[in-house]
Chains A and B, each alone.
Chain A
Amino acid sequence: MKIDSGDTAWVLAAAALVMLMTPALGFFYGGLVRRKNVLSTIMHSFFILCLISVQWVLWGYSLAFGPDKGHIIGGLEWVGLNGVGFAPNADYAPTIPHQAFMLFQMMFAVITPALISGAFAERQRFKAFVLFSLLWATFVYDPIAHWVWGAGGWLHTLGALDFAGGTVVHISSGVSALVAALVLGRRLGFGKQKVEPHDATMTVLGAALLWFGWFGFNAGSALGAGALATSAFVVTNTAAAMAALTWMTVSWWHKKQPSVIGAAAGAVAGLVAITPASGFVNVMGAIVIGFGAGVVCYLAIQLRERIKVDDALDVWAVHGIGGTWGALATGLFATVAINSAAANGLFYGNPKQALIQLVAVGAVWGWSILGTFVILKVVNLFVPLRVHEDEEVLGLDLSQHGEPAYAGIHAN
């Protein structure tokens, strides 16, 4: 195996793009919370970037991508990156250094628990958040990554298609977010007082940076600088744009005005939905996937509001439901004309692929629900998950970190 300098350059650049997504997520979420909690919300993303970067090189990468153990988990042979060097690994990426692949995957492992933080924003104790994130990355993310992407993983062997993380990243985080919101309970005053985003401009900027970084997420998942990366880039941009247009239209019809935050959320929903499909569908498929994301994610938010679940920043609706739609749509619109190494979907004559996708979605939903619930209960034995009421009223910036986001302004 010979290292290709073009492929290596692209994957390293893509890893940097994906890294940018986590602080961008911090700004996307930070704009949506009240000003007394913005710093703590941004800190969730920034801290996880640090935490999982270390967890991944110590044991996370080995559990996710190490030598297969019973099709469930990777072994501990690659702990501390032992044996993960600069020669390519034929199982994962034959034209780039193994460490370049490890680094690219690290950024996926980083952003996934950061996504969950939107569900428990404005009320989770920081120490509980730290413990939860470390355990969740180890016992939920790493096994799921192995099932779907690891050599020998059972969903990988079954033929499940997930190009860039619709199941591994978005369903796992979105479903876990729902569980976290239910276990933690609602914020004080939820449903009685209107909680409005403190800075919509920050949210739109965050969404734009997420969109930018997503080109690395999806096109980088081709693991080479060629036609497949180009196709993934094109469909990613198309689906994001179509979902933003659709969400804006639906909200315009529903609320009588075209929402700016809605357009930003719609773009993110489209990016989520195209993620699993980005290496398998053509641009027409991307338009349908983007349209579907704009509709189903918007409806999911209406449902979440109706059943009064306080998933503060709608992680379940956008990532859980968007990821589920994208994973299922992959089984409908995948075509070997785009990726000859994959399979056709239902609309290209292969209904079996739709069933395989359904199995993958069900398995990831199930493990995410079970794992997250158990981890939250275990953490709660040692550290209370929620802050005290007076700390919540004061705001997490001051109560958890002792720092205000905006000097001289402490109220709400």
Chain B
Amino acid sequence: MDPTTIMAVVCSVVVFAGWLLLPHSPTTVKPVVVSEEREPARVSA
């Protein structure tokens, strides 16, 4: 294999293997603050 191919394989292994090892920290769900109430549409008769 030429140097470029070797580097490409190493880069790919780093990325793909990284996902197996990386931790995942879920964000605590907070209630959504509604800043603005929408007014219902008015339909004139």
Q: CB within 8 Å of B: which residues of A?
A: 242, 245-246, 249, 252-253, 256-257, 282, 284-285, 287-288, 291, 333, 347, 409, 411
Contact = CB atoms under 8 A, between A and B. Distances in A.
Nearest to B23: A256
B31 interface: no
Interface in B9-41: 11-12, 14-15, 18-19, 22-25, 27, 35-36
A293 to B, nearest CB: 11
Given A256-B25, A284-B8, A285-B8, A411 B35 contact: yes
A287 B19 CA distance: 17
B44 interface: no
B2 A347 contact: yes
A242 B15 contact: yes
Contact of A257 (B12, B15, B18, B27): B27
B15 A288 contact: no
A285 B35 CA distance: 50
Contacts of A409: 36
Contacts of A249: 14-15, 18-19, 22
Contacts of B15: 242, 245-246, 249, 291
B27 to A, nearest CB: 7
Interface residues of B, number: 19
A242 B12 CA distance: 8
Contacts of B25: 256-257
Main secondary structure of the interface of A (DSSP, over half): helix
Nearest to B12: A287
A257 B8 CA distance: 25
A347 B6 CA distance: 12
A134 B23 CA distance: 49
A242 B18 contact: no
A282 B8 CA distance: 11
For the complex of A and B, list the 3 residue pairs with the smallest distance between their C-beta atoms, beginning with the closest: A291-B11, A287-B8, A284-B8
B8 to A, nearest CB: 4
Nearest to A291: B11
Contacts of A246: 11, 15
18 contacts: A242-B12, A242-B15, A245-B15, A246-B11, A246-B15, A249-B19, A252-B19, A252-B22, A252-B24, A256-B24, A257-B25, A282-B4, A284-B7, A285-B4, A287-B11, A288-B4, A291-B12, A333-B4
A301 B6 CA distance: 28
Nearest to A238: B8
Contacts of B22: 249, 252-253
Contact of B24 (A245, A257, A287): A257
B7 to A, nearest CB: 5
A288 B8 CA distance: 5
A146 to B, nearest CB: 32
Contacts of B5: 284
A246 B11 CA distance: 9
Q: Considering residues A245, A252, A256, A288, which has the most beta carbons from chain B within 10 angstroms of its beta carbon? A: A288
Contacts of A287: 8, 11-12
Contacts of A288: 4, 7-8, 11
A183 B14 CA distance: 39
Contacts of A245: 15
B4 A253 contact: no
